């Protein structure tokens, strides 16, 4: 059995706002095993991005990682000095975002940006860096990379910019890639290409944490999945088990909603109600107000993660 | 078939792109929208869906081509003369937030179009009508005096829909109305749109890049690529036997929420979408099409009737092209 590239233990991240403490991430624990793609899925506002940013040390004021451990190859990186963290970012851990312009500089040619990501972390001659850059751009499917390197980000389509960002994230061969909704802004044919690329990276030895609100993306490439709801992990299982035998009513609702589009039904499945405001979480299970199987106990007490059948399958629900 | 509500004949629009160049956003598009139907318009971003949608309701003037409303040519009509048709044709957007004035309450937002179209005679009647519209779209009446930022994305979309309904239109162009929403909320909005259509006999031109959504909601579908139509037909026919190679690639790229059906590598499209500034000659899809021949590279395929369906392809699927190997096609 392989080891875990990333382990998150009991992570709590809050935003200390004027209206009170917004607990965006609560007691989140998860593993990203070596050479696998691990997914986090959930509706927007569930805390997926804040979890990723907590790992990267990118949570900004008034947000704060309150407690927990973030272990990269067994080493806790939560409290290392900012300088060391900077050195880790890009070389050992890289992140790609939904909107590539958050990581691309609009006034620098894309080739130079990718090359500098490499030169910053690796001590290699410039000439060699250039060659590696062209190779990297080509391997993410940018044709005519030698010339395209000279483009500025705005001269490229969204799909190409996303590829440049992936090239930049991958050029130092990090152990861990965190991809936050990497294809959400892209069209289906480009999305499929980017996912194929991520699979290739993974078989090349990079462990991936893939965040998406789209169950289609998760089903297509993840090995193992965590489902998040209102700041907490509510279910985890290997991908096939999760889709074949979901145990948490929230996961079931998400799946029914996604599959009903493909069935010949007039009325589509939905989940009644909305994601709760994190400032006013209900007592007991956060999903209780929207849950069809909710009982008295659910309204009074927060369920823990319980075994749900198969080994490695857990759900935060009294009914499972 | 029922009455033709709206008809486009050869609509074409190019935008200036600097240095004397042009973006060929929509080129020579002809289509009919029948009363009471939902016509889906699918294609990847930048292929001209919004531009076409806006031309279809005369929010944007075409460079050439004609627009017919119930058989009458409204292309060259003055804005003043068109005003009496305006309220029949409404639009809802992907991001209602961008189109809702943040300083106005829900009441004011929905009252605005009512005022424009002189629907109410008194303040009380106005409030009653606003409340009625809120109920129709499922926004609780107690939120009458709330502001847009106090609502979730799904509720804002409901308010956008109420504003469009205020004009009591015949046709609504829905431009990616659910693209920014999570699936459960997306489904709520789609159910709402279907219900309203039934209750009011509405006609929709439903624009989306999401094939699964379009398949669910549309009676007929048009597939668009780089400013031109690839094919039009009944939804189930298009999905069960696409004629245009691009349609099939789009369908293969759908990400099924099912780990037992993962993508097969060779059914995916490679390469990049060509630029609309310099669209390829002949068939605009030929640079990515495995079946392209010399004819495709030089001659623009016209829309042809193929047994009740229309497709613009020299070698439509199921008619020989895909039976040859693509290697053979490339060298022919
Ligand atoms: N800057 C901020 N200030 C206050 N709350 C925030 C801030 N950023 C995020 N949050 C809170 O954190 C929650 C989770 O956000 P996020 O991780 O971005 O969700 P997701 O990525 O799952 O859509 C949000 O619902 C929001 O309440
Ligand atoms: N006002 C405009 N000025 C210049 N170019 C435009 C304008 N509106 C759209 N375009 C261009 O026209 C093409 C089609 O755009 P659009 O109709 O918005 O596509 P879609 O809705 O399918 O994404 C794109 O290349 C876009 O950049
Ligand atoms: S076969 Fe020819 S005409 Fe048909 S899509 Fe391919 S390139 Fe276009
Ligand atoms: Mg996010
Ligand atoms: Mg558009």
Q: Which tens digits make up the pLDDT trace of A295-307?
A: 999 999 999 999 9
B183–A192: do the CB atoms touch at under 8 Å?
no
- Number of neighbouring beta carbons within 10 Å of residue A56: 18
pLDDT at position A40 is 98
The mean pLDDT of A53-60, rounded to a whole number, is 94
Point out the ligand nearest to the CA of residue B26: 2
Residue A165 backbone dihedrals phi, psi, to 5 degrees:
-65, -40
Percent of chain B residues past pLDDT 90, beyond the cut = 81
| Alpha-carbon distance values, A302 to A226, A253, A258, A284 (Å) | 18, 20, 27, 4
Q: For A186-225, what is each residue's pLDDT tens digit?
A: 788 888 888 988 998 899 899 999 999 999 999 999 999 9
B209–A187: do the CB atoms touch at under 8 Å?
yes
> Residue B276: CB within 6 Å of ligand 2?
yes
Query: Quick one: tokens of B62?
Result: 């075409």
Closest residue to atom 4 of ligand 3, CA basis: B313
pLDDT at A252 over 80: yes
Q: Confidence band (pLDDT; 50, 70, 90) for B266?
A: low
| Alpha-carbon distance values, B88 to B169, B173, B272 (Å) | 4, 11, 39
pLDDT at position A19 is 92
Query: Is residue B243 within 8 Å of B307, Cβ to Cβ?
Result: no
The mean pLDDT of B1-9, rounded to a whole number, is 92
Query: Is residue A208 within 8 Å of A32, Cβ to Cβ?
Result: yes
* Residue in B194, B258, B265 nearest the CB of A196: B265
Nearest Cα to Cα of residue B256 among A239, A237, A210, A253: A239
> Residue B321: CB within 6 Å of ligand 3?
yes
**Mean confidence (pLDDT) of chain A:** 93
In angstroms, what is the span from residue B266 Cα to ligand 3's centroid? 18
pLDDT at B295 over 90: yes
Single out the residue in B168, B189, B209 at which a domain terminates: B168
pLDDT at position A131 is 94
- Residue B121 lies inside a defined structural domain of this protein: yes
- Interface check A215 vs B, CB under 8 A: yes
Query: Quick one: tokens of A61?
Result: 């004021």
- Angle B14-B16-B19 (CA atoms, 0-180°, nearest 5)? 135
How do beta strands A20-33 and A4-17 pair?
A: antiparallel
pLDDT at position A254 is 97
- Interface check A200 vs B, CB under 8 A: no
Single out the residue in B146, B168, B190 at which a domain terminates: B168
Percent of chain A residues past pLDDT 70, beyond the cut = 100
pLDDT at A273 over 90: no
The mean pLDDT of A52-58, rounded to a whole number, is 94
Q: Confidence band (pLDDT; 50, 70, 90) for A140?
A: confident
Domain(s) labelled CATH 3.40.50.300 in chain A stretch across 4-92+174-315
- Residue B81 lies inside a defined structural domain of this protein: no
Separation of alpha carbons B236 and A192, rounded Å: 24
Would the pTM count as exceeding 0.90?
A: yes
pLDDT at position B322 is 55
In angstroms, what is the span from residue A66 Cα to ligand 4's centroid? 20
pLDDT at B192 over 60: yes
pLDDT at A59 over 80: yes
- Helix, strand or coil for residue A110? helix
- Residue B267 lies inside a defined structural domain of this protein: yes
- Measured from CB, residues less than 6 Å from any atom of ligand 1 are A 15, 17, 22, 24, 42, 44-50, 63, 278
In angstroms, what is the span from residue B105 Cα to ligand 5's centroid? 27
pLDDT at B232 over 90: yes
Closest residue to atom 16 of ligand 1, CA basis: A47
Single out the residue in B168, B202, B223 at which a domain terminates: B168
Give B71's strand partners. Answer: none
In angstroms, what is the span from residue B301 Cα to ligand 5's centroid? 25
pLDDT at position A185 is 75
Which residues lie below 8 Å from residue B117, measured CB to CB, with a gap of 6+?
A: B87, B166, B167, B168
Which residues lie below 8 Å from residue B169, measured CB to CB, with a gap of 6+?
A: B87, B88, B89, B90, B202
pLDDT at position B1 is 58
- Residue B289 lies inside a defined structural domain of this protein: yes
pLDDT at position B321 is 53
Q: Confidence band (pLDDT; 50, 70, 90) for A139?
A: confident
- Residue B312 lies inside a defined structural domain of this protein: yes
pLDDT at B332 over 50: no
Separation of alpha carbons A232 and A235, rounded Å: 9
Residue window 45-104, chain A: list those with CB within 8 Å of chain B. none
B187–A188: do the CB atoms touch at under 8 Å?
no
Ligand 2, pocket-test mutation among B42, B45, B51, most atoms within 8 A of CB:
B51
- Residue B43 lies inside a defined structural domain of this protein: no
> Residue B224: CB within 6 Å of ligand 2?
no
Range with the lowest mean pLDDT among B19-23, B64-68, B197-201? B19-23
Closest residue to atom 1 of ligand 2, CA basis: B15
* A105 alpha-carbon distance from chain centroid: 23
Q: Which residue has the higher pLDDT, A90 or A47?
A: A47
Residue-wise burial string across B19-34, b where 16 or more C-beta atoms lie within 10 A, e elsewhere: eeeebbbbbbbebbbb
User: Which domain, by its residues, includes B264?
Assistant: 252-331
pLDDT at B52 over 50: yes
- Residue B41 lies inside a defined structural domain of this protein: no
Give the ligand 2 atom nearest the CA of B43: 22
Separation of alpha carbons B8 and B254, rounded Å: 29
Query: Is residue B332 within 8 Å of B291, Cβ to Cβ?
Result: no
Q: For A16-25, what is each residue's pLDDT tens digit?
A: 999 999 999 9
> Residue B313: CB within 6 Å of ligand 3?
yes
How do beta strands A176-180 and A207-212 pair?
A: parallel
Specify the CATH number of the domain A4-92+174-315.
3.40.50.300
pLDDT at position B325 is 47
- Number of neighbouring beta carbons within 10 Å of residue B102: 8
**Mean confidence (pLDDT) of chain B:** 92
- Interface check A270 vs B, CB under 8 A: yes
Q: For B125-179, what is each residue's pLDDT tens digit?
A: 999 999 999 999 999 999 999 999 999 889 999 999 999 999 999 999 999 999 8
- Number of neighbouring beta carbons within 10 Å of residue B221: 25
* Count of domains observed in chain B: 2
């Amino acid at each position: 059995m392989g080891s875990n590239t990333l382990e998150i233990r009991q992570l709590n991240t809050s935003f200390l706002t004027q209206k009170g403490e917004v607990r965006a991430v609560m007691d989140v624990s998860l593993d990203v095993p070596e050479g696998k793609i691990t997914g986090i899925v959930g509706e927007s506002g569930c805390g997926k991005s804040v979890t990723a940013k907590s790992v990267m040390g990118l949570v900004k004021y008034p947000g704060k990682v309150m407690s927990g451990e973030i272990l990269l190859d067994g080493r806790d990186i939560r409290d290392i000095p900012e300088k060391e963290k900077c050195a880790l970012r890009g070389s050992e851990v890289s992140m790609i975002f939904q909107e590539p312009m958050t990581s691309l500089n609009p006034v620098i040619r894309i080739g130079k940006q990718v090359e500098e990501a490499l030169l910053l972390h690796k001590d290699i001659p410039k000439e060699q860096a250039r060659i590696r850059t062209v190779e990297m751009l080509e391997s993410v499917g940018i044709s005519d990379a030698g010339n395209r390197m000279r483009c500025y980000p705005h001269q490229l389509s969204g799909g190409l910019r996303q590829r440049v960002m992936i090239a930049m994230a991958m050029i130092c061969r990090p152990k861990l890639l965190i991809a936050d909704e990497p294809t959400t802004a892209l069209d289906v044919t480009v999305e499929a290409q980017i996912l194929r690329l991520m699979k290739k990276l993974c078989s090349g030895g990079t462990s991936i944490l893939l965040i998406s609100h789209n169950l289609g993306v998760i089903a297509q490439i993840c090995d193992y999945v965590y489902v998040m709801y209102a700041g907490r992990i509510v279910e985890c299982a290997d991908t096939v088990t999760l889709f074949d035998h979901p145990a948490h009513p929230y996961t079931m609702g998400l799946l029914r909603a996604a599959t009903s589009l493909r069935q010949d039904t007039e009325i589509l499945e939905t989940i009644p109600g909305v994601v709760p405001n994190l400032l006013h979480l209900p007592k007991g299970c956060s999903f209780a107000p929207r849950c069809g199987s909710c009982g008295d106990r659910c309204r009074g007490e927060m369920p823990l993660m319980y075994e749900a059948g198969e080994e490695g399958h857990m759900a935060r629900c009294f009914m499972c | 078939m029922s009455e033709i509500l709206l008809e486009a004949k050869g609509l074409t629009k190019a935008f200036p792109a600097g240095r004397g160049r042009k973006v060929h956003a929509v080129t020579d598009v002809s289509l009919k929208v029948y009363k009471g139907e939902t016509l889906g318009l699918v294609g990847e971003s930048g292929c001209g869906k919004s531009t076409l949608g806006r031309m279809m309701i005369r929010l944007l003037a075409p460079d050439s081509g004609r627009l017919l409303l119930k058989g009458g040519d409204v292309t060259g009509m003055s804005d003043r003369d068109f005003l009496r048709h305006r309220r029949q044709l409404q639009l809802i957007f992907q991001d209602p937030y961008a189109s809702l004035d943040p300083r106005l309450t829900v009441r004011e937002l929905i009252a605005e179009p009512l005022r424009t179209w002189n629907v109410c005679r008194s303040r009380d009647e106005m409030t009653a009508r606003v409340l009625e519209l809120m109920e129709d779209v499922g926004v609780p009446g107690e939120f009458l005096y709330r502001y847009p930022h106090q609502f979730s994305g799904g509720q804002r979309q409901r308010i956008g829909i109420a504003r469009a309904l205020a004009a009591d239109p015949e046709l609504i162009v829905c431009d990616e109305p659910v693209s920014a929403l999570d699936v459960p909320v997306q489904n709520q909005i789609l159910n709402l749109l279907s219900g309203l259509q039934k209750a009011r006999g509405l006609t929709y031109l439903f624009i989306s890049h999401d094939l699964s959504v379009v398949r669910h909601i549309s009676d007929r579908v048009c597939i668009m690529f780089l400013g031109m139509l690839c094919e039009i037909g009944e939804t189930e026919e298009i999905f069960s036997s696409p004629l245009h190679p691009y349609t099939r690639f789009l369908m293969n790229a759908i990400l099924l929420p099912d780990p037992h059906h993962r993508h097969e590598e060779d059914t995916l499209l490679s390469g990049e979408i060509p630029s609309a500034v310099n669209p390829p000659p002949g068939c605009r899809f030929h640079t990515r099409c495995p079946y392209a021949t010399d004819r495709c590279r030089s001659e623009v395929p016209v829309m042809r009737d193929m047994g009740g369906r229309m497709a613009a392809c020299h070698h439509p699927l199921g008619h020989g092209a895909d039976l040859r190997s693509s290697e053979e096609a490339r060298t022919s």
